[in-house]
Amino acid sequence: MLSLQLNGQAYNPDKSILIGEVSVRAESDKRDYLGFKSTHLDSALLAQYNHHTIADLLSGNSVIHIKSYGSGGLATPSFRGTGPSHTRVSWNDVNLNSPMLGQFDLSLIPAGFIDDVNIYYGAGSMGINSGGFGGVIDLKTSKTSADDTGITINPGLGSYGRFTGLIKAGTGNEKLRSVTKAFLSDAKNNYPYTNNVSQDSPKKERRENNEVSSAGFIQELYLLNPDNTISARLWYQSASRNLPVPIISPAQNPPEKQDDESLRAMVSYSGDLNQADIGITAAFIADRLRYNNELASIRSVNNSRTLTLKGSYKRRISDFLLLEAGFSDELSHVSTSNYKGNKSRNLASFDLLAESMPVSWLSARLLVRELLHDDILLTPDFSLSTEFRPFPQKYYFLKTSISKNSKVPTLNDMYWSPGGNPDLRNETGYSTELTWEMNTLHNGPLKLKSDITFFRNNISNLIQWRPGEFSFWEAVNLGSAITEGLETGTNISYSFNKADLRIIANYVRTLARSQDQNSDKNGTGGNRLIYVPENQLNVLVRLNWLMYFVSFSTDYTGKRYITADNSQYLPHYAVSGINLGTRLERTHHSVDLSLSVDNLFDAAYQNIAYYPMPGRNICLSVSYQFKK
């Protein structure tokens, strides 16, 4: 009798209905440089080290050996048996190594300041800033996505008067993004240690004059377009620290002091132009180091400024050929009381790179570089690598490479007064490498990645400082060095019952020896290089379950010779740590609580002779995050 009109689906042609976006995520098959080994440390791993330094991060999660003078002291990287000046540290592909010392202090950068860390080994680093004989550590800071708009406040308290604070803020839209980070750190570092070298019997003492404080910020702006991105970055930081003496010497009063200050600015453009990728970067870096020793009446002020211009043009010629041309120019100027007048240096390089994949299971890569040092053209460098994939359905790779690289002397090597030598020859390194890598990239609960690498470096015209004829040390080209060994690593992840288990293990065995006029003719002679451990091992086990996590790590470092004649050495040591915490979440808010215990078993050890490292210490961290 009566009826109503029922509409199962109303249709209105004049109204658009917006549905939410869907993010599709997958594990990418990313290999940065064909034929070379590389390691990627992502933001999830860096988050565990928010209140530690980049040196702590690398020491526990890579095969890089960190030479540290103790908590808050100088920490420099060295891997594959090479020295700190043979390892490059870069920020978004721009070189950070000091033009004076040729190295970089990793203890000044908190890990929470960096978004990603990429490690390129051996000649695989030649695609960035001329590379290094050991490799390159590339620190990445990047834009946040729209999902990360908000603010994070992360304070931390630790043993021996340590306080750290970290703030991150991201905002913007699809066209303009802003990222701001700031940190503050302070520590007394008056930890106890056992002195068994300067007394007749071992004695418990506390480290003196070891205070350090630092602060800094990064501001980044990104202008995003469909075909290109323009970014501007500004990074300022400063640090002030006392320099403790080795435990065989009496404490100084007043102590030696060192103040570091850095300003880094960068503007970059990346985009597509007529099916080609173009990248242009301009950067300015100003470093100031002030050293003061009142007892010795020494006050040293060192200022360096470097202007860097980089550009690249990449184009795919066909389905199996990719060509890239690049240039880089670094102009450095140094003013210091330790040189006879101000000094400048210009390093320009021109690269031509070709990558080819003639068949699906074979790839090859050739890079040729010409380096211009001031007004002198050097002998061209090169790297040649291949990558073989024996099973089409599996991510298994056999990689091999051979390369030649060069390193010019640092400005200190040439002009330090007294002892600098402007007639030094460039160091030259020949490297070979063989890697077998296996990956399981599927959707199952178990994922596995493992690799093993054999390497060999031969560095000639090695620059060393040695006692001269006039009672001071001089820089000379002395013989050569041969480093060889193997690196192997395994990364296992397994998901079960709302839990995720991850195991990361790395092992490296390195034989590094000098090779000079006193060595055997057959190439087997020569003493071991100082501070190069023969064996290193680190293991990290992490378990996530619902909103809780716990991780355990252990690092083993073998004995290291501390004298050129190998008559003295530091014994091996193992250091373990534990980290546990939980996350509390609401709609737009989250709170992370974590407790870390470093040197869990209170091991007594030295990384550098007569500079004791801290024993067991703890750090409590609270992180509050607000997202729109």
3-state secondary structure 477-496: ECCEEEEEEEEEEEEEEEEE
Q: Is the pLDDT of residue 121 over 50?
A: yes
- Does the pTM surpass 0.85? The reply is yes
* Cα Rg, the chain, nearest whole Å: 26
pLDDT at 31: 45
What SS3 state is found at 498? coil
Residue type, 500: D
Domain ranges of the chain: 38-627
- Write down the CATH superfamily of domain 38-627: TonB-dependent receptor, beta-barrel domain (2.40.170.20)
Residue type, 160: Y
Long-range contacts at 602-608 (CB < 8 A, ≥ 24 apart):
603/573, 603/574, 603/575, 604/193, 604/194, 605/570, 605/571, 605/573, 605/575, 606/570, 607/66, 607/67, 607/68, 607/69, 607/70, 607/557, 607/570, 608/67, 608/68, 608/69, 608/70, 608/531
Quote the CA–CA distance of 15 and 267 in Å, as a whole number: 43
42 within 8 A of 116, measured Cβ to Cβ: yes
pLDDT mean across residues, the chain: 88
Average pLDDT in the 131-145 region?
84
Residues in the chain: 628
Q: How confident is the model at residue 25 (pLDDT cuts 50, 70, 90)?
A: very low
pLDDT at 97: 92
CA 570 to chain centre: 25
pLDDT at 200: 74
Q: Is the pLDDT of residue 283 over 80?
A: yes
Query: Between residues 129 and 234, which one has the greater pLDDT?
Result: 234
For the stretch 91-108, what's the b/e string if a residue is b when 16 or more beta carbons lie within 10 angstroms of its beta carbon?
A: bbbbbbbbbbbbbbbbbb
Q: What is the pLDDT of residues 436-479, one digit of tens each?
A: 999 886 667 888 999 999 999 999 998 888 877 766 788 998 88
DSSP state of 128: S
pLDDT at 344: 94
Quote the CA–CA distance of 112 and 218 in Å, as a whole number: 12
pLDDT at 313: 94
Of the candidates 462, 440, 465, 463, the residue with the CA atom closest to the CA atom of residue 451: 440
Average pLDDT in the 346-355 region?
93
Distant-in-sequence, close-in-space partners of 198: CB < 8 Å, separation ≥ 6: 247, 248
Quote the CA–CA distance of 68 and 88 in Å, as a whole number: 17
182 within 8 A of 167, measured Cβ to Cβ: yes
Q: How confident is the model at residue 414 (pLDDT cuts 50, 70, 90)?
A: very high
Q: How confident is the model at residue 11 (pLDDT cuts 50, 70, 90)?
A: low
Distant-in-sequence, close-in-space partners of 377: CB < 8 Å, separation ≥ 6: 370, 371
Q: What is the pLDDT of residues 292-317, one digit of tens each?
A: 999 888 899 999 999 999 999 999 99
